[in-house]
Structure 1
């Protein structure tokens, strides 16, 4: 069973810290992924999945694949809008899409995706996506507006 979506209905702002930049003075490439992961975690919490507290979560989630296209740079102290959403729900895996925008200008900085596999806490083998979480994702993603850059 698979559900596919195209919207990025959740977003949050992140201010680029100086320590997040590299020697060239722009955001270090791996931190784009850190920002996306943090905002996805907030989205999951809003949908009722305790991603930030493994003791409360019904299962673990492993990231097994990711891609990111870097389209423009951002620098220390810029504010970035990170937009996220689920693009596919399978039985035990889900694809998350993300886009990062310079908040003031709306310039698209990066876009990408990663695949999550839901796993049993004890066996660490794949397990179905918890039904309540699946239904919360479907309800939020269907007909949701797109983040689309500057607020």
Structure 2
């Protein structure tokens, strides 16, 4: 479990930075920090039973409506990055998820959050977070109950 200040980030995964993910200055292109966070968030959602990676099978769409990121450290090609994610807020139809990227020596690279809105697939209007998904989040992160 990765911690970022006070909220716990119960799900982690590692990513090896590909050379093609870097920019002309030789470090991870700034937008790819967000790609890494979003990818691991999707894996976390899958582990909680929401098939977010396959929209045809998911009970709803999930729109990311806001992203915040503080870039703290430099990451280069072939570095191994640990990405931690966890929910920090559950609303009726939206949720906030925190993320932290760090090197294997615990050097912090970036931290931030993204806001998700759960949307009906047909009307594309906000809908309540699916009950089974909300329950799975709370089982994993009881502080959100």
Which bracket does the TM-score occupy, shorter chain normalised? over 0.9
Are positions 1:65 and 2:50 aligned together? no
Matches within 5 A, 1:47-58: 47-58=48-59
Counterpart for residue 81 of structure 1:
82
Q: Which residue of 2 aligns with 1:20?
A: 21
The list of structure 1 runs, each at least 4 consecutive aligned residues, that deviate by more than 3 angstroms after superposition, is none
Instruction: Pick 1 or 2: higher relative contact order, CA cutoff 8 A, min separation 6.
Output: 1
Distance 1:114 1:9 in 2: 16
Note if 1:128 corresponds to 2:114: no
User: What is the count of residue pairs matched by the alignment?
Assistant: 138
Instruction: String of CA shifts for 1:27-77, please: whole Å, max 9, x gaps.
Output: 000000000000000000000000000011000000000100000001000
Question: Counterpart of 1:96 in 2: which secondary structure?
Answer: strand
Q: Which residue of 2 aligns with 1:36?
A: 37
Shift of 1:141: 1.1
Segments of structure 1 that go 5 or more residues without pairing to the other structure are 144-151
**How well do the aligned residues superpose, as a CA RMSD in angstroms?**
1.0
Distance (whole Å) between structure 2 residues aligned to residue 98 and residue 125 of structure 1 = 26
Alpha-carbon distance in structure 1 between the residues aligned to 2:118 and 2:7: 21
Would you say 1:106 and 2:106 are equivalent positions? yes
Alignment partner of 2:132: what SS? helix
Give the superposition deviation at 1:142.
2.2
